[in-house]
Amino acid sequence: MNDDQLLRYSRHILLDEIGIEGQERLLASQVLVIGAGGLGSPVALYLASAGVGRIVLADHDTVDATNLQRQIAHTYDRVGQPKVESARAAMQAICPQVEVLALQTRADEGFLQTWVPQVDLVIDCSDNFRTRHAVNAACVAHRKPLVSGAAIGFDGQISVYDSRSGEHPCYACLFPPDTTFEEVRCATMGVFSPLVGIIGTMQAAEALKLLAGVGTSLAGRLLMLDGRNLGWDEVRLGRQPHCPVCGHPA
């Protein structure tokens, strides 16, 4: 690190658990963020501010006035712009040195097979089960840790799906791909604006911990938040031996 970086990241370096070595790991890391909306906004901003070396940001959508109630990476004067370009501008305003690859595209199977192998970690900030399952399958196939979050109404959840050890469940262990779930969108149900900030910030924290080698991740645990009373529940998750994605049937 140069003198400017030592100064900028001094509050991380002062932490015994991170120090210079941990910060250097962050600077050398590459992360793929799927979604630049309510969850993706705080994730992207905190990854940039913390010094993650290269951030690949994927989202097909453009900024709409209705996004501004909760998607803090965007501003009124960027309505109509691609969300990834708007988020990149916000990230580089915080840290001009951050390398952001802004890709205005859907995270389909072809995209994921290209990009997941190139990064150290994936953060899923999407808003639909199809994308979440596709992201999970790619992470399992390429043995990349996945930080997954979701938020709607006053309810949020977060977990880490890390199949590298073979001990922890993947997303499909909890939500089987062949199960029908009702898709609920913000446009019809609404969402409490700070909720996406809480879950997104926790996603960023889990990602930074994994990259820097700090503490214990949420792998094998699902945290669920009731935003009405700010009550947290924790569910322990087990790997399913017959999971169609990560399992190995006897």
> Residues with catalytic annotation?
186
Q: Which of 237, 39, 211, 239 is closest to 124 using CA atoms? A: 39
Phi, psi of 149 (to 5 degrees): -135, 160
As given in the structure block, the two tokens for residue 47 are 């990854």
DSSP characters over 102-131: EE-S---HHHHHHHGGGSSEEEE--SSHHH
User: What CA–CA distances, in Å, run from 35 to 63, 73, 180, 246?
Assistant: 12, 12, 23, 24
Q: Residue 16 is which amino acid?
A: D
The CB density around residue 130, as the number of other CB atoms within 10 Å, is: 12
**Alpha carbons 13 and 184: distance in angstroms, whole number:** 41
**Alpha carbons 45 and 88: distance in angstroms, whole number:** 9
Q: Residue 224 is which amino acid?
A: M
